[in-house]
Amino acid sequence: MVKLIVAISGKRKSGKDFVAKRLAEKLRQVATVHLAGVSHSLKQEYAQIHDLNYDELLTDGPEKEQHRRDMIEWGEQKRKQDAGYFCRKAVSADPNCDICIITDCRRTTDMEFFKNYCKTLAVRIDADLEVRKSRGYIFFYGIDDAESECGLDDYKHDFVLQNNGDDAFLEKQMGEIFDICKTLLSN
């Protein structure tokens, strides 16, 4: 049974995947860690239905952006029937790990699901607009002003991490999260 979930949210190109991978490496010193995404099973099912390459949808390549709008819409339909559908699949992928890091929470229902499932640390990744732009971010109407990107803007996360490219500061903040996780695991 998963003992702790680290539920990460953040805007496009804030560095959610980058931070999640680094955090996983760090936490693997003290626990078994599984990296999962709410969008993984969504992309998998969507790819199957539309005969697309799932691995390609997982990358930062053009295919994800070409299909984003439609994937969001398809996902919304699924969530209307069952708000926890994709979250459940994400935590079930490796049910025996100590820590499950979820790389892409977007909606309050995602956070509610994880907080109800087990001990959860909600982490927000923040990066300045200019920094996100330098990483390839471009604003799209209907995506960047919609729930998929804004649903957790006002959510009270347990930890807010600044990811503007200062590596020493990033490591310091990772160290703080690492300590919090260790404490949560031992309680």
Ligand X SMILES: C[C@@](O)(CCOP(=O)(O)OP(=O)(O)O)CC(=O)O
Ligand Y SMILES: Nc1ncnc2c1ncn2[C@@H]1O[C@H](COP(=O)(O)OP(=O)(O)O)[C@@H](O)[C@H]1O
Q: Which residues bind ligand Y (CB under 6 A)?
A: 10, 12-18, 60, 135, 163, 165, 170
Q: Say whether 14 counts as a known binding-site residue.
A: yes
Q: Does 132 bind ligand X (CB under 6 A)?
A: no
Q: Does 110 bind ligand X (CB under 6 A)?
A: no
Beta bridge partners of 53: none
Distance CA 76, CA 148 (A): 9
Tell which one of 42, 111, 121, 122 touches ligand X (CB under 6 A). 42
Distance CA 127, CA 14 (A): 5
Q: Say whether 11 counts as a known binding-site residue.
A: yes
Which of the choices ligand Y, ligand X, none does residue 148 contact, using the CB cut-off of 5 to 8 A by kind? ligand X
The answer to whether residues 152 and 109 touch, using CB atoms and an 8 Å cutoff, is no
Q: How far is the CB of 18 from ligand Y (least distance, A)?
A: 4
Q: How far is the CB of 89 from ligand X (least distance, A)?
A: 12
| Residue showing tokens 């239905």 | 49
Q: How far is the CB of 1 from ligand X (least distance, A)?
A: 26
66: Cβ contacts below 8 Å, ≥ 6 apart: none
Q: Say whether 163 counts as a known binding-site residue.
A: yes
Q: How far is the CB of 19 from ligand Y (least distance, A)?
A: 7
Which of the choices ligand X, ligand Y, none does residue 106 contact, using the CB cut-off of 5 to 8 A by kind? ligand X
Written as one string, the DSSP assignment of 108-159 is: HHHHHHHHHHS-EEEEEEE--HHHHHHTT----TTTTTSHHHHTTTT---SE
Task: Kindly tell me which of 118 and 160 has the beta carbon lying closer to ligand Y.
Answer: 160
Distance CA 29, CA 175 (A): 12
Pairing of strands 4-10, 33-36: unpaired
Query: Considering only residues 53-72, where is the footprint of ligand X by CB under 6 A?
Result: 64, 68, 71-72
> Binding site for ATP: residue ranges?
11-17, 135, 173
Residues that bind ligand X (CB under 6 A): 12, 16, 37, 39, 42, 64, 68, 71-72, 75, 104, 106, 148
